[in-house]
Amino acid sequence: MKKGVISVNSNAEKTIIAMTISVVLAIIFDGKKKKPAKRKSFAQRVSKHYKTIDNIMLMTVAKDVKKKEQERAALKKKNSYKTKLRDLEIQDAEFIEL
């Protein structure tokens, strides 16, 4: 038996996968109810399924995506010009006799 491995490396990949699954679920479970007045629109059904799929993915497949995105943001902030100027440490000068 072969096992499949799914890994999500970025927030964009996670969003695309979750949106695809939520659209498919919205089409399959198209919200047909006996009373048409209580039917939700397609966008509302997609939104509802997206929230569910997003939470499931964060718990399983994409659990490291949020951590990686935060690390990238912290590294980007650390390497910025303004942060470097703020983090400079003033050191005592050494006296040289001539």
H helices of 1-98, in order, are 11-28, 42-59, 65-78, 81-86
Mean pLDDT across the chain: 76
Instruction: Report the pLDDT averaged over residues 70-78.
Output: 76
Residue spans per domain, the chain: 11-86
For residue 19, give the nearest of 58, 41, 62, 48 by alpha carbon. 48
Which tens digits make up the pLDDT trace of 57-71?
Answer: 777 766 677 777 778
Check the CA dihedral 40-41-42-46 and report its sign. Answer: negative
CB 41 within 8 A of CB 18: no
Paired tokens of 55: 């939470």
Confidence of residue 39 (pLDDT cuts 50, 70, 90): confident
Task: Look at 74 and 86; give whichever has higher pLDDT.
Answer: 74
